[in-house]
Amino acid sequence: MELANKYCLTSGGCLPPLCAALGGIVAQEAIKCLGRRFVPLQQWLWLALPQLVDLGLAPELRLPVGDRHDGCRQVLGDEALQRLHAAKLFMVGCGAIGCELMKNLALLGAATTDQVCF
């Protein structure tokens, strides 16, 4: 019952990096299945689901406020999301791997405080 309660608290949430990883795996497996050249995964896929991690957050810290980060707020909580927004990041290069990292950081709202320095 406790596991079901933890899952229900975050069931409407979304973490963009987890969605990107799962989407890539599903697309790769679909291509392998359609191509009939390689064998699709024949095992359980285990990802660290944030829904099953007990962060010890009170339900009022997960309430939506009406912005685009409500999905992340529901999983991480408002305090962790505010720390993520206030983080100071510097990224050098945005090539093949960096573009995905930059996209996920942008979707999470990392370093989106009002003070921007160039």
Kindly report, residue by residue over 76-109, the tens digit of the pLDDT.
888 888 888 898 888 888 888 888 888 888 888 8
Tokens of 88: 């100071």
**CB-based contacts of 52: which residues, under 8 Å, 6+ apart?**
3, 6, 7
Give the per-residue pLDDT at 118.
46
- In angstroms, the Cα distances linking 75 to 10, 43, 62, 70, 81 are 5, 27, 7, 9, 10
pLDDT (0 to 100) of residue 114? 54
2 C-beta neighbours (distance < 10 Å), count: 7
- Note the pLDDT of residue 52: 52
pLDDT lower than 50: segments of the chain: 116-118
What percent of the chain is helix, strand and coil (3-state, nearest 5)?
55, 0, 45
